[in-house]
Amino acid sequence: DTGVSQDPRHKITKRGQNVTFRCDPISEHNRLYWYRQTLGQGPEFLTYFQNEAQLEKSRLLSDRFSAERPKGSFSTLEIQRTEQGDSAMYLCASSLGVRRTDTQYFGPGTRLTVL
Amino acid sequence: KNEVEQSPQNLTAQEGEFITINCSYSVGISALHWLQQHPGGGIVSLFMLSSGKKKHGRLIATINIQEKHSSLHITASHPRDSAVYICAVRSNAGGTSYGKLTFGQGTILTVHP
């Protein structure tokens, strides 16, 4: 399977714990995006990488959230001191990055439940 | 007011019916995407439009840039079309902001046999 993969697919944690999610984009894709989707809503942008550079961060991404893409390949999204409001589906997408309007390919998402 | 608004929020149809989902947006865009999301979360890109009309099988997407409006049509709907359909736009703002998508809230489509 050469699509975007995310790990884990599901995560249940207690409030106050730290969690880390991983996204592996399609191998030749330069751009990588993180989105968050709460129940009944469309996804919301969190952050975006061009290769290893984090080019934009949403105001939704509080100081408890950090994302990295150290070698321009896979990316991690860490949430520290989780809160119940962090419960959501975290989606990763990647795109080739050669044009401004290239198609984004989405991973299956990581569903986070904070108890 | 959200930058991207979809209507209707919920749509129920009988198999074979013609379906239209609408999307209006308030920002300048470089492209508009129609996405399909099945239960469990997986999102598939159906169309990317910057002008005119595109067709793929029973799906047709149109966009009117002047009116800032797009429609997704499904002809001869089938129960397997049941999913959430999401409209998303890519801003034409300069700098680094052009990478991200801004999404509508989605339209839940249920097609009954």
The string of pLDDT tens digits covering residues A18-69 is: 999 999 999 989 999 999 999 888 999 999 999 999 988 888 888 999 999 9
pLDDT of A109 above 90: yes
Backbone dihedral angles phi then psi of residue B96, each to the nearest 5 degrees: -90, -5
**In chain B, what residues touch A45 (CB-CB under 8 Å)?**
100-102
Chain A touched by B48 (CB under 8 Å): yes
Which stretches in chain B have pLDDT values below 70?
1, 93-99
Closest chain B C-alpha to A24 CA, distance in angstroms = 15
- Cα–Cα distances in angstroms (integers) from residue B96 to residues A27, A56, B92, B99, in the given order: 22, 7, 10, 7
Rounded to whole angstroms, how far apart are CA atoms A90 and A21?
9
Predicted local confidence at residue A98, as pLDDT: 67
Cβ-defined contact of B104 to A91 (cutoff 8 Å): no
A80 has pLDDT over 80: yes
H or E element that contains B28: none
For residue B31, give how far its alpha carbon lies from the nearest alpha carbon of chain A (Å).
6
Interchain proximity B30–A111, CB inside 8 Å? no
Give the mean model confidence (pLDDT) for residues A109-115: 96
